[in-house]
Structure 1
Amino acid sequence: MFNEQDQRLRDFLATGRRFAATSSVEETLQLILTSAVDTSPATDLAGVLLLEGRGKITSLATTDGVVNQLDQVQARHNEGPCVESIYDQELVVVDDFAEHLERWPRFARAALDHDVHSSLSFQLFSEGKRAGSLNLFSHRVRAFGEEDRVLGALFANQAGLALRGAQRVAQLDQAVASRGVIGTAKGILMERFGIGDDEAFQRLVRSSQDTNIKLVDVAQWLIDETTGRQTG
């Protein structure tokens, strides 16, 4: 006979096994968040904020429209526990947002207006860099105990793995696409000038260095220029 804590552990492990059936990082994160709400006794709402290029913060997945609204407040004003977790701390614990109206005046007020009173925010990493935060919210004051923190850390670890996996897939896709563009550009030069593969590649490299433009962008320009000439 399993006790309540054993059942939560079994539910957590089952969540990990269900990852194989997901088809996107967003779907995986949605599963993680839903499982966090179902498994953590204190958690009523959950979400993941993502830090993208040039400091842009976006809401990647949530379990409720309230979290979307709170994420918008944090992104717009660059304040709140989730933003603070992304930039400064691995774990941000808020026992009562009423006690943080001076610290985060806009966000704390928005949280209280939506009957959100406490939260846990875990910093997520991607390829050694800060990537975002997984955030758990409760309608109760001082809702999160030690057990919730442990469970939250486990779900944050799963979310971080999902983000890293998605990043690596994106990098691989980009590398394959770039290789195809460079290969096409080399073929154009080989046909146009009657040169070999190595010489064609070296010409692309020299053009990239001389113009201070990325190699793949030089190759794409050559393809576009050639295609335009042929169709013009």
Structure 2
Amino acid sequence: MSDDEAQGKDDEKGATLGGPRDDELARHMSELARSLHAEEGEAAVLERMVGAAVGMIPGAQEASITLVHGRKRVETRVPTGDLAREIAALQEEVGQGPCLDAAFEHKTVSVPDLAAERRWPDFTAGALGLGAKSMLVFQLFIEGDNLGALNLYSRESDAFDCEAEQIGLLVAAHVAVAFAGTQKVEQLRDAAQSRDVIGQAKGILMERYNVTAEQAFLLLSGVSSHSNTKLVHVADHLASTGNLPSADGEPIPH
């Protein structure tokens, strides 16, 4: 083997094992992780996620996120274009497809050629009509009854190779961690806001009826129970309008 041939072999090996391509991928992944953690709010993280997926995963032309709430309600978020949006609507309509399979059952679902696909006949026919030729879907998380998937679409057959799948798994892993973090932050923020509005409502009742904080809370809880309304909504209604909601939805006169 000549020196040039040996160098070519080394370059080829370096491109896949610790070479320039891996270095570039590591840099992109680091930038993605930092940008995701810097975003505030679930919507911003999801939008950044699909943008990174299309930009980093070979073959991806469009992307979207599928969220399944309580294993029942399917929601599509931040589609990057018409193809992703229309396929998401199709999947929700027919109740089948690779996005749902990935979310419910499998970590990764690969569809190299939709024209040859037999797993989801209703979905496949519609997706082909919309212009999709291949798909690659990654399960993002399973948290109780809440599921998620990252969906990649292409108008070309066999668009996603092994490299695309490997990079996609890395992107999906980073995204799942960042997304879970934003959900916890938003839950904490919601809890703090609920605590504040309940405190305001208690203060109104304490001043108005000359009762203690505990008595005011019991009054709010009683109205919540009788009106079948969440406690925080009762408190918010009182803080906003000065009235407590009654069981029939009308403000309680006072």
Taking structure 2 as the reference length, what is the TM-score of the superposition? 0.74
2:104 to 65, 80, 87: 87
Superposition CA RMSD, Å: 3.1
Q: Secondary structure at the match of 2:157?
A: coil
Is there any run of 5+ residues in structure 1 with no aligned partner, and where?
A: none
1:154 to 151, 170, 179: 170
Change (3 A) 1:14 1:184: closer
Residue of structure 1 equivalent to 2:220: 204
Q: Secondary structure at the match of 2:141?
A: strand
8 Å CA contact retained: 2:67, 2:148 = yes
Change (3 A) 1:110 1:183: same
Residue of structure 2 equivalent to 1:186: 202
Change (3 A) 1:196 1:130: closer
Residue of structure 2 equivalent to 1:29: 46
Change (3 A) 1:91 1:181: same
Alignment of 1:1-232 (within 5 A): 2-20=19-37, 22-52=39-69, 55-100=72-117, 102-125=118-141, 127-209=143-225, 213-220=229-236, 222-223=238-239, 224=241, 226=243
Code of the residue aligned with 1:71 in structure 2: it is: A
Code of the residue aligned with 2:68 in structure 1: it is: L
Residue by residue, what CA displacement relative to the aligned partner does 1:205-230 show, whole Å, maximum 9, x if unpaired?
35545665433244345554638789
Code of the residue aligned with 1:116 in structure 2: it is: A
CA distance, structure 2, for counterparts of residue 80 and residue 43 of structure 1: 18
8 Å CA contact retained: 2:71, 2:145 = no
Q: Aligned pairs, how many?
A: 230
CA distance, structure 2, for counterparts of residue 53 and residue 129 of structure 1: 4
Taking structure 1 as the reference length, what is the TM-score of the superposition? 0.80
Code of the residue aligned with 1:93 in structure 2: it is: S
Residue of structure 1 equivalent to 2:247: none
Deviation, structure 1 residue 38 = 2.5
Is there any run of 5+ residues in structure 2 with no aligned partner, and where?
A: 1-13, 245-250
Residue by residue, what CA displacement relative to the aligned partner does 1:112-134 show, whole Å, maximum 9, x if unpaired?
23442222211222655433210
8 Å CA contact retained: 2:37, 2:178 = no
Change (3 A) 1:30 1:209: closer
Q: Secondary structure at the match of 1:62?
A: coil
Q: Secondary structure at the match of 1:226?
A: coil
CA distance, structure 2, for counterparts of residue 12 and residue 107 of structure 1: 33
Greater Rg, structure 1 or structure 2? 2
Change (3 A) 1:131 1:163: farther
Change (3 A) 1:206 1:108: same
Decide which moves more: 112-121 or 212-221.
212-221
